[in-house]
Amino acid sequence: MPRRPRLTVPDIPLHIIQRGNNRLPCFFTEADYLVYLDMLRLSAQQAGCRVHAYVLMTNHVHLLVSPQSCSSPAIMMKALGERYVPYVNRRRSRTGTLWEGRYRSCLVQDAQYLFVCQRYIELNPVRAGMATHPLDYRWSSYQANAYGERNNIIEPHILYDALGAERLERELRYRALFEEEMPWEMVEQLRHATHQNAVFGSEEFIDQMAIASENDVMPRRRGPRQD
């Protein structure tokens, strides 16, 4: 059965997840996280992807990006793999693959869907029991988005900029989003859409993206997912 093509539309945010092979670790030391982030910055810039949010977990990665072209995400992830995997293999005296097959992704609608995705990404360490608050986890974009910590990877989405006229106002309103209860029905929709390389959004948006991408969009269903 042929693999279903990934849905990518220029300037439409894309949630990406890539897992370690057999769910094994892909980061082993602090230096690994730092190297990956530097490679992410370079690969995103070269491929034409604006990174809005990320989290690096022990054995998987979440990214939220807006691509300039349909090919931008694939170019970025290919460049990341070609840079990071040889680095790890040299450092760990290992060979072979590091990642579990192809990365998964889904298109993300603006409005409330975008911030659900960002919160889902930056709350990942809390759900995993690795931190009590996203501020306590170093390897995510939360500090940049919520407190303005200098970060040469993050480029805020236009909806983030619309949170307030001033930087401090935007940060305050962004932090307030994390005080709200997560809409778990939407989270399950996000998980399924990412797993199926589909669309996270309203029915109308799903139809629009099917036309824009010139691909079939698989119907949504809800089911238990992790990460």
Domains and CATH numbers, the chain: 14-211 (3.30.70.1290)
Q: How far apart are CA 68 and CA 73, in angstroms?
A: 9
Mean pLDDT of 114-142: 97
Question: For the packed helices 184-195 and 112-122, what is the interaxial angle rounded to 10 degrees?
Answer: 80
Give pLDDT tens digits for 97-106.
899 988 999 9
pLDDT at residue 11 is higher than 50? yes
8 Å CB contact between 108 and 15: yes
Q: Which bin fits 148, alpha (ψ -120 to 50), beta or left (φ > 0)?
A: left
Q: In this structure, what are the phi and psi dihedrals at residue 106, rounded to the nearest 5 degrees?
A: -150, 150
8 Å CB contact between 20 and 36: no
State residue 225's pLDDT score. 46
State residue 220's pLDDT score. 45
8 Å CB contact between 79 and 65: no
Within 10 angstroms of residue 31's Cβ, the number of other Cβ atoms is 11
Cα four-point dihedral sign 66, 58, 223, 175: negative
pLDDT at residue 1 is higher than 60? no
* 3 state DSSP class of 49: strand
Tokens of 112: 């409330």
Mean pLDDT of 62-69: 98
Cα-Cα-Cα-Cα torsion 127, 131, 135, 137, nearest 10 degrees, comes to -100
Nearest Cα residue to 199 out of 14, 69, 2, 61: 14
Q: Which amino acid is present at 227? A: D
* 3 state DSSP class of 183: coil
State residue 182's pLDDT score. 93
pLDDT at residue 10 is higher than 60? yes
State residue 101's pLDDT score. 84
State residue 73's pLDDT score. 97
8 Å CB contact between 114 and 108: yes
pLDDT at residue 51 is higher than 50? yes
pLDDT at residue 214 is higher than 80? no
Per-chain mean pLDDT for the chain: 92
pTM: 0.92
State residue 210's pLDDT score. 84
State residue 121's pLDDT score. 98
Q: How far apart are CA 65 and CA 56, in angstroms?
A: 15
Nearest Cα residue to 186 out of 163, 204, 202, 205: 202
Question: What percent of the chain is modeled with pLDDT above 70?
Answer: 93
State residue 219's pLDDT score. 45
Q: Give 21's DSSP letter.
A: G
* 3 state DSSP class of 152: coil
Q: Give 98's DSSP letter.
A: -
State residue 7's pLDDT score. 87
pLDDT at residue 195 is higher than 80? yes
Mean pLDDT of 169-176: 98
